[in-house]
Amino acid sequence: MIPKEFQAHYDRLCYGRSRKDVFCYFLDVCLYYLSVGMLSEDYLRITKQYKKENMPLFLEMLQIVGDNSEGFRDVLGDVFMDFVSHGHNGQFFTPMHITDMMSIITGCDSLSPEQSVCDPACSSGRTLLSAAKLCAEKNEGERPFYYGSDIDITCVKMAVINMLLNSIPGEIAWMNALTMEHWRNYCVDLMLIRGVWLPTLKVKNKGQTSFVRRLEKTYEEKTEIKDRVIENVKPVQLSFEF
- pLDDT for 13-51, tens place per residue? 999 899 999 999 999 999 999 998 888 888 999 999 899
Distance of alpha carbon 5 from alpha carbon 22, whole angstroms: 16
Helix (H, G, I), strand (E, B), or coil: what is residue 113? coil
- The number of C-alpha atoms within 13 Å of 45 and in the hemisphere containing its C-beta is 12
Helix (H, G, I), strand (E, B), or coil: what is residue 242? coil
Whether pLDDT at 116 is above 90: no
Confidence of residue 240 (pLDDT cuts 50, 70, 90): very low
Residues 154 and 80 sit within 8 Å (Cβ to Cβ): yes
Confidence of residue 164 (pLDDT cuts 50, 70, 90): very high
Q: Does domain 89-222 have CATH number 2.60.120?
A: no
Confidence of residue 242 (pLDDT cuts 50, 70, 90): very low
Determine the pLDDT at residue 193.
82
Distance of alpha carbon 115 from alpha carbon 143, whole angstroms: 9
Q: In the chain, where does DSSP find H-type helix?
A: 4-13, 19-34, 40-47, 55-68, 75-79, 96-105, 126-138, 153-165, 210-221, 223-232
**148, 180, 239, 6 alpha-carbon torsion, rounded to 10°:** 40
Whether pLDDT at 221 is above 70: yes
Confidence of residue 141 (pLDDT cuts 50, 70, 90): low
Domain with CATH 3.40.50 in the chain: 89-222
